[in-house]
Amino acid sequence: MSTKKSSKAKATTKVKAAKAPNEKKLSAVNAAAQVLAGAKGPMTAKEMIEAMTKQALWTSPGGKTPHATLYSAISREINIKGKDSRFVKAERGKFSAK
C-alpha cells in the first residue's frame, strides 16, 4: 500500500500590515506618570487606567486586571528608586506625581 500525497501546492501570499515608522508605544507606568503630572490630585490605579485610555496614551493588551498590574509597577518603582521615583504614595491606594 502506497500513499500518494498531492503534488499540487497552493500558492499563498501574505500581505503584511503597514506599520508607522518608528512609532513607540508608552508603557503603562510611563503613561501613568504623564497622567499624574497633569492631575489635580492623587489618583487610584483604576482612575489612572481610565484616564490613560481616554487620553489615548495607553490601552490594555487584553489583561483582566490592568489596574492591579499598574499598582504593582508603581509600588515597585517607589521601593526600588526611593527618592528618585516619579511617584509618591499619597494615601492608601492613591499615588501622585513627585
CB-based contacts of 45: which residues, under 8 Å, 6+ apart? 67, 68, 70, 71, 74, 93, 95
Asked whether the predicted pLDDT for residue 80 surpasses 60, the reply is yes
Q: Domain boundaries in the chain?
A: 28-97
Grid coordinates of 28: 503603562
> What CA–CA distance (Å, rounded) separates 73 from 89?
13
Give the Cβ contact number of residue 76 at 10 Å: 12
Mean confidence (pLDDT) of the chain: 86
Mean pLDDT across the stretch 24-47?
95
Strand, helix or coil for residue 37: helix
Fold (CATH) for 28-97: Arc Repressor Mutant, subunit A (1.10.10)
pLDDT confidence of residue 3: 57
